[in-house]
Amino acid sequence: MKRQVLVHRGVRKIEIIEEECPPPAEDEVLIQTRFSGISAGTEAMIYQGLFPDQLALDENLPALAGEFKYPFRYGYCCIGQIVDIGKNIQPTWRGKRVFAFYPHASHFTVPLSSLIPLPDTLRDEDAVFLPNMETAVNFLQDGRPILGEAVIVFGLGMVGLLTCALLGQFPLGFLGGADLFPQRRQIALSLGADIALNPAEFSQPGSLRRAFISAGLPHGGADLVYELSGVPDAINQAIEVCGFYSRILIGSWYGKKIAAVDFGGHFHRNRIGIFSSQVSRIDPSLSGRWDKQRRFEVVFEQLERIKPGNWISHLFPLSEANQVFDLLVDSPHEVLQAVFSYL
């Protein structure tokens, strides 16, 4: 069987190649892809070559073994259907819908153990957001918002919006958002944010903090801030809106971008804590009770509740990959969520 695969050949150079798809071995299955989601922030940076040298594609996913070294394949969000099985696989698996952390490809062969079966009640369009939702759930578990706290989310891309959607279910005292693009800010408001501001409009020191306070943020500042924008300068605005002994969770991946952080003023005297959060591993303090399976149960529940598939703005065939990535880099304001369709 022939398959089509996306390959990164260089900076802003993508090729769709056709190659033989290997048949499934004894404990493997063959997947026919239906949709593969595009991580706008991460994959736009990769398209531009903004990844550190000698960095592993992923430290935990077998399908992304190797380093960021051209040529390479990338992507980690495939929804598909099992169309062939190895001899050790029960026949009942044939035809099942599954999720796979696998690069963009029309077909692929993987061990059955690496797949996540999808509930019958979950739409393909919502399931394609599984990695984004798992990331948002992880942010909530790491950030640990408390009853009545004031929380602000910088960056209302897809992960930021899903984080807002989860936070909007909490009995918070205040929920604010910040993003450059009005469509994203409007969705955040519909998800429960008290206000969503354009951070570019508040370049004067203290002006963003004052704007949030006028909208209901306590005068003492935010208790918890999520920096999910991928813009290093946002860290200083996050520090600005913080209160005493508050915490900033960095969920962004900056690649080669360097953050020039102002530690000399508000940060130092307010004893602000900055920490990173990354979805591949569960916080050690939770791992005695939580594992991936339990977390995915929460992910499925929230995907069905929030229905983020309604936010898909662009569907493209894999053959138009260059157009997709050019759009993500050159006109990000036009794209809420882009997805490759193989139907």
State the CB neighbour count (10 A cutoff) for residue 323. 14
Dig out the tokens for 41 from the structure: 């922030």
Mean pLDDT value across residues 306-310: 97
| pLDDT at res. 53 | 76
Which residues are CB-contacts of 207 (< 8 A; sequence separation ≥ 6)? Answer: none
Lowest mean pLDDT among 34-38, 46-50, 131-135: 46-50
Q: What is the CATH number of the domain that holds 192?
A: 3.40.50.720
* Structure confidence at residue 38 (pLDDT): 95
Tell me which of 276, 292, 324 is where a domain ends.
Answer: 276
* Helix (H) or strand (E) run with residue 247 in it: strand 242-250
- Whether 216 has a pLDDT exceeding 90, the answer reads yes
- The residue out of 250, 276, 302 marking a domain boundary is 276
Residues 201, 161 share a domain:
yes
Fill in the DSSP letter of residue 272: -
Provide the domain limits for residue 200: 131-276
Whether 153 is in a domain gets the answer: yes
Pair (50, 37) in one structural domain: yes
Residue 315 pLDDT exceeds 80: yes
Query: What confidence tier does 108 reach under pLDDT thresholds 50, 70, 90?
Result: very high
Shared domain check, 72 and 119: yes
Give residue for tokens 């300068």.
233
**Mean local confidence (pLDDT), 144-167:** 97
In the predicted structure, residue 259 carries a pLDDT above the cut 80: yes
103: its two tokens: 């690069």
Q: Does residue 152 share a domain with residue 40?
A: no
Q: Which helix (H) or strand (E) segment is 44 a member of?
A: helix 40-47
The answer to the question of residue 135 being in a domain is yes
Q: Is residue 283 part of a domain?
A: no
Residue 153: CB atoms within 10 A of its CB come to 30
State how far the alpha carbon of 253 is from the alpha carbons of 20, 62, 87, 108, in Å. 34, 21, 41, 28
Co-location of 169 and 236 in the same domain: yes
Claim to verify: residue 138 and residue 224 sit in the same structural domain: yes
Domain presence at residue 146: yes
CATH code at 92? 3.90.180.10
pLDDT over threshold 80, residue 201: yes
Contact 285, 71 (CB under 8 A): no
Q: How confident is the model at residue 54 (pLDDT cuts 50, 70, 90)?
A: confident
Kindly report, residue by residue over 96-107, the tens digit of the pLDDT. Answer: 999 999 999 999
Contacts 24+ apart (CB under 8 A), 211-220: 212/152, 212/176, 212/241, 215/176, 216/174, 217/150, 217/152, 217/174, 217/176, 217/241, 218/150, 218/173, 218/174, 218/243, 220/244
User: Taking all residues of the chain, what is their mean pLDDT, rounded to a whole number?
Assistant: 94
In a domain, 306, yes or no: no
Nearest by Cα to 318 from 78, 91, 30: 78
pLDDT one-digit tens code per residue, 286-307:
999 999 999 999 999 999 999 9
- Asked whether residue 6 falls in the same domain as residue 79, the answer is yes
Under the banding of pLDDT at 50, 70 and 90, the label for residue 265 is confident
Q: Is residue 292 part of a domain?
A: no
- 222 and 253 housed in the same domain: yes
> For residue 248, what are the β-bridge partners?
225, 274
CA–CA distances in Å: residue 49 to residues 8, 20, 69, 149, 246: 10, 28, 10, 39, 35
Is residue 250 domain-shared with residue 118, that is, in the same domain? Answer: no
Distance CA 284, CA 77 (A): 26
User: Which neighbouring-strand residues pair with 105?
Assistant: 5
More confident residue, 24 or 64: 24
- Identify the band that residue 178 occupies on the pLDDT scale cut at 50, 70 and 90: very high
Tell me the pLDDT band of 255, cut-offs 50, 70 and 90: confident
Instruction: Looking at the structure, tell me whether residues 146 and 59 fall in a common domain.
Output: no
pTM: 0.93
Instruction: With respect to residue 289, please indicate whether it lies within any of the assigned structural domains.
Output: no
Give domain status of residue 23, yes or no.
yes
For residue 56, what pLDDT is reported?
A: 82
Residue 135 sits in the same domain as residue 120: no
Q: What is the pLDDT of residue 22?
A: 93
How many structural domains compose the chain?
Answer: 2
- Domain co-membership, 209 together with 78: no
Chain centroid, CA 95 distance in Å: 28
Backbone angles phi, psi at 91, to 5 degrees: -60, -25
